[in-house]
Structure 1
Amino acid sequence: MRKIYGSGSSWEKTLGYSRAVQVNDTLYISATSAAGPDGTVVGEGFYEQSAYILSKLEAVLAEAGFSFADVVQSKIYLTDISAWEEAGRAHGEVFGEIRPTMALVHVLPFLDAAMKVEIELVAQR
C-alpha cells in the first residue's frame, strides 16, 4: 500500500514531491520548515522554529494515523551548527522519552534566508 499526503503547497507540484508518503506501516515525512500557512517563517530563533516545525509534523503524523511515539528516525538540518542546542532542546521536549535515531546536519542557507531549521521524520507502526 502506498498513499501520499500533501500540505497544499504549490512547491509540491512544481518540484514533484509529497509532504509525506506512507508505504504499508511506514510514514516518510519530507523535510519541513517553519513556514506558516501564508508562507512567512514563524519564529526567529532555532528553538522557536524547531518547536513550530514539530507542531506541524505532529499534525502530519496524526493525519496519517501515526503519533510522535511511532517516530523511529529524525533528521534536523541547521544553517548554523553552533545552534544545535537550541534546536535540540525543542526536539528533546518532544522525543526525550521516545528516543528515535537522529542526525544533526549542517547545511547552507535555505532558499528563504529566514529559515534556519528543517526537520524530517520517519515513523513506523
Structure 2
Amino acid sequence: MEDARKTVSSGSPLEPQIGFSRAVRKGRHVAVAGTAPIGADGTTTSVGDVYAQTTRCLDIAQEALNQAGATLQDVVRTRIMLTDVSRWREAAKAHGERFATIRPVTTFVEVSRFIDPDWLVEIEVDAILDNDE
C-alpha cells in the first residue's frame, strides 16, 4: 500500500472548488487539512470560545484520521493557528486533554484572520502509522 493514496472528504462544497481534501493518506502518512470549528449544520460553533472551538476542531480532525485508518496515537505533529495568540492557553487545554500522553510536536501561531471571522482557531494534524496496511 506504500504508493496507494486515499482521500477523506468532509463533504464541503468547497473541496472540489478549491481542490482539497479533509485528509490524505499516502502509505503510512496521514495529513489533515486546516480544520475549523464548523458544526454539523455548517455554521461556526461556540462563537467567542477558543476552548470549545479547539475541541470541535480536534473532534473533526480525529474523525478524519479515523476515516484514513489512523488514530490520535499516530499523530506526530499538530499546528494550532489562533487569531489571538494571547489566548493560547485555552487552546492548549483542549489539546492537552487529547494529547497529554501522546505528546506530538506542536506549534502555536497567530494569524490575522480566517475565512470566517467567527473562527478563532484552526488546526492541522499529521500522523504516521506504524505500518502501511
| TM-score bucket of the superposed structures, by smaller chain | over 0.9
Aligned residue for 1:118?
A: 122
2:106 is the counterpart of 1:70: no
TM-score by length of 1: 0.97
Per the TM alignment, residue 105 of structure 1 is displaced from its structure 2 partner at its CA by 1.0
Identical columns (%): 40
Cα displacement (A) at 1:53: 1.0
Secondary structure in 1 aligned to 2:11?
Answer: coil
In structure 2, what is the equivalent of residue 90 of structure 1? Answer: 94
Preserved CA contact (<8 Å) 2:6 2:68: no
Runs (4 or more) in structure 1 with deviation over 2 Å come to none
Following superposition, the deviation at residue 26 of structure 1 comes to 0.7
Provide the TM-score with structure 2 as the length reference: 0.91
* 2:10 alignment partner, SS class: coil
Q: Name the amino acid aligned to 1:99.
A: R
The amino acid of 2:58's aligned partner reads L
Amino acid at match of 1:97: T
- Any unmatched runs of 5+ in structure 1? none
2:83–2:110 Cα contact (<8 Å) kept = yes
Aligned to 1:108: 112
Distance 2:30 2:115 in 1: 26
- State the AA in 2 paired with 1:77: M
What is residue 8 of structure 1 aligned with on the other side? Answer: 11
